[in-house]
Structure 1
């Protein structure tokens, strides 16, 4: 039996479909895929109001992956196909709250081990027996980039990729939201030269804008607090229940610590 060949699942917002296709063209193997386009909309009774949230995006990914599993089982007759790979870096998977007001739903955690395990239970009760697997649970985003086996391809993919939580508003990455900061820190860590364009390239100027600086200041506050206390264990517990295995918990703690250090090093390079 050869290596497993994954079915790629994606969905797009306006403006990023072409980017996804360009990145897919960099893959050495030809993969089957399921994809669809989506734009935020509201039910009829709420028409006229604006929905700019992307909170359901990760749930859509997982739901589409379940659909892919069912399609593969029906097409092949192989009921043993059950693994959904969720390739998310360990820091953003845990996404520990940067400040006290982010302990709740202000920060999404849709690839958190606790959420995925509960979603597995829900799907099992509904008759869908699947297993979610994150191969990068103990890797930072910077480590994922620097350890990629095809450095030439990943260097080409970086300027094409989209990480920003505000992308769908202006079709350009803001450069200062938490996903953008994690992204830019990882690129700095991997020493890559070329990146995508950002609406706010210079972070120093963002600190002077009250409506934009919240995420940067929240990250700075978390760095200062954790440098003083080193209580990473208590910090990551605030994002949700963790696996009971003490070795797994320790790995998660160290991953989160390294992830925040990547951001700290990037901010220092930006002289913040």
Structure 2
């Protein structure tokens, strides 16, 4: 059994802790937040602390773990009634087995002396990545006044602030400040849940939410990465993020509706490839200025805050910039020339997986797709199938341009 202290640091060396910085951020912003949304932040932090503290390598199959959480919240009856839905949603996100129960005694959200309720339209998650940049640009071009929410990530902080200042009317940066007692699990599939929870919390601080109008949180991700289909039969779906997958977002929708949290989470790009996002962006001038400054790499920190150029997110990025064609891709990739026939370039696992997928799609698209869209919670299957075909087409064009054999 491991004790986790929420919204405080606990005792150094004894307690896993998470969220100590959140109260400071809410106080600093003079936010009035929904206590149910505050509970959801506590739930997300608890799941992330458990996820980070348990190494997958120690599990019987080397991946799947079993978690049994007891979380103190402000509204235990509400969340106990939703525990089954929550465990299903978490299981889909992290591919683990979860048991969760709720007890009273959760810390209350701060009550500011001078409440600030922003008269803004909606909230957008702003990560510093290319997709979230396009999303913010499009929403602003549509006339929406936006409040940006970022999660502090080393190497992206200045970029997040710069984008928010250029595009949005306000900006909140949160740090989950999670601390484990030993080396943290690197996969951390629940990390994105914390980011979403921060966005939902901020959405409840809007004036319109306090007028019972509800609010929208925009999570902008290209449809190909959102589905993240296994590129080959040797690649496990659980090795891919599921943050914007329609099954996960449908689970969140049911949770928020059940809890009475009036925030809708939307991904406007679920039917678009990354290349289509760039090509159809409503603010081409600003996108041309900022696109190659954004981040996409799955190993950005590992390579000293440079794009590796060969991971799946890097290949999707490179393919999208090629499809767009409006700017020269001067990102500066560590592994730029993927045609080199060695294990660092063309024979690297991710590059080889994309090459194999492009061949498999030509032979039998349905067989390659497999059960990637099999869940009953997946809407618009025909549109998603077409988008995935176009996404593979962008990757195939990249490999052809780079002379990858």
**2:294 corresponds to:** 161
Considering only CA atoms, is the larger Rg found in Structure 1 or Structure 2?
A: 2
Answer 1 or 2: which has greater strand percent. Answer: 2
**Structure 2 CA distance, aligned partners of 1:120 and 1:54?**
22
Query: Does 2:383 align with 1:251?
Result: yes
Q: CA deviation at 1:4?
A: 3.7
Q: For 1:1-272, what aligned pairs fall within 5 Å after superposition?
A: 3-27=143-167, 30-37=168-175, 42-44=179-181, 47=182, 49-53=183-187, 55-72=189-206, 77-169=210-302, 170-191=304-325, 192-205=327-340, 207-209=342-344, 213-231=348-366, 235=369, 237-238=371-372, 241=375, 243=377, 248-272=380-404
Tell me, yes or no, if the aligned pair for 1:90 and 1:140 is still in contact at 8 Å.
Answer: yes
Q: Which moved more, 1:209-218 or 1:166-175?
A: 209-218
TM superposition score normalised by structure 2: 0.59
**Structure 2 CA distance, aligned partners of 1:85 and 1:70?**
14
Tell me, yes or no, if the aligned pair for 2:223 and 2:387 is still in contact at 8 Å.
Answer: yes
**Structure 2 CA distance, aligned partners of 1:65 and 1:203?**
37
**Structure 1 CA distance, aligned partners of 2:210 and 2:150?**
24
Sort the Cα spacing of 1:190 and 1:236 in 2 relative to 1 into closer, same or farther, 3 A: farther
Two-structure CA RMSD over aligned residues (Å): 2.7
Tell me, yes or no, if the aligned pair for 1:12 and 1:37 is still in contact at 8 Å.
Answer: yes
Q: Which moved more, 1:87-96 or 1:234-243?
A: 234-243
**Structure 1 CA distance, aligned partners of 2:173 and 2:356?**
39
Tell me, yes or no, if the aligned pair for 2:308 and 2:334 is still in contact at 8 Å.
Answer: yes
Runs of 4+ in 1 over 4 A off after TM superposition: 242-245
Answer 1 or 2: which has greater helix percent. Answer: 1
What's the secondary structure of 1:9's corresponding residue? Answer: strand
Tell me, yes or no, if the aligned pair for 2:204 and 2:210 is still in contact at 8 Å.
Answer: no
**Structure 1 CA distance, aligned partners of 2:301 and 2:193?**
17
Tell me, yes or no, if the aligned pair for 1:95 and 1:239 is still in contact at 8 Å.
Answer: no
**Structure 1 CA distance, aligned partners of 2:378 and 2:313?**
28
Structure of higher RCO (CA pairs closer than 8 Å, 6+ residues apart): 1
Sort the Cα spacing of 1:80 and 1:125 in 2 relative to 1 into closer, same or farther, 3 A: same
What's the secondary structure of 1:231's corresponding residue? Answer: helix
TM superposition score normalised by structure 1: 0.86
**Structure 2 CA distance, aligned partners of 1:127 and 1:206?**
55
**Structure 1 CA distance, aligned partners of 2:378 and 2:344?**
43
- Runs of 5+ unmatched residues, structure 1: none
Sort the Cα spacing of 1:174 and 1:186 in 2 relative to 1 into closer, same or farther, 3 A: same
Q: CA deviation at 1:79?
A: 1.9
